[in-house]
Amino acid sequence: MKNKTSRQGYIRDIAQTEKGPVEYTLTGNGPMILKIVATLSPKSIARQTFALFGTHDPNEAIKMLSKSELKEISLFYQKQVGSWAKGALNDMEHFTSESDLRSIQSPTLIIHSREDRAVSFEFAEYSHALIRGSELWEAPSWSHFISIGPGSEYVGQKVVAFLKSEF
């Protein structure tokens, strides 16, 4: 069965239990469902996250996550329930004007992954072209969440190197 998160407020997935795989469907308030799944099944919420925001096989991605990264994804959804819906909608509707980008004069590091399904890499290239002196760095991560999962260790290293070079 294909993993599915729906805007209509349901999640279908397969959870691995002591008795084997169990298919489940949760319905109701979207953010509350995410909180429940994140609490009860961190691997399921990680699988959903990679299915929505990454380009690699979600099952392969979660095999590469450490226990602390699974916990980090789970806690993200558990803590974000109150503001999650508003934040997600803001992200989808957010647009930065050309004049705003051109007005940036501080050292700027743009980090983005080509594996991000949520925001096209073209937006990072667009921003880089408009922000004078900016640096565009392609994160070797597998999804929109560049600080979690395969390649994430390099993101922190890049940020620290950039800050040391600029300040």
- pLDDT tens-place values along the chain, 167 residues long: 444 444 444 455 555 556 666 555 544 455 566 677 777 788 888 888 888 788 888 888 888 888 888 888 888 877 765 555 555 555 555 667 889 889 999 999 999 999 888 788 998 999 999 999 999 999 998 888 888 888 888 998 999 999 999 77
Looking at residue 133, its pLDDT comes to 94
Looking at residue 135, its pLDDT comes to 95
pTM of the full predicted structure? 0.61
Segment 67-73 long-range contacts (CB within 8 Å, at least 24 positions apart): 69/148, 69/149, 69/152, 70/42, 70/43, 70/46, 71/42, 72/148, 73/38, 73/42, 73/45, 73/46, 73/49, 73/145, 73/148
| In the block, residue with structure tokens 């819906």 | 85
d(CA 149, CA 140): 10
Looking at residue 94, its pLDDT comes to 61
Looking at residue 140, its pLDDT comes to 92
- For the chain, the domains span 4-93, 98-166
Looking at residue 54, its pLDDT comes to 82
Q: What is the DSSP letter of 12?
A: E
Residues with Cβ within 8 Å of 18's Cβ and at least 6 positions away in sequence, in order, are: none
Looking at residue 7, its pLDDT comes to 43
**Residue 47, number of CB atoms within 10 A of its CB:** 23
* 121 in Cβ contact with 112 (< 8 Å): yes
CA atoms within 13 A on the CB side of 140: 9
* 21 in Cβ contact with 60 (< 8 Å): no
Q: Measuring CA to CA, how many Å separate 86 from each of 29, 42, 117, 144, 163?
A: 13, 23, 19, 18, 31
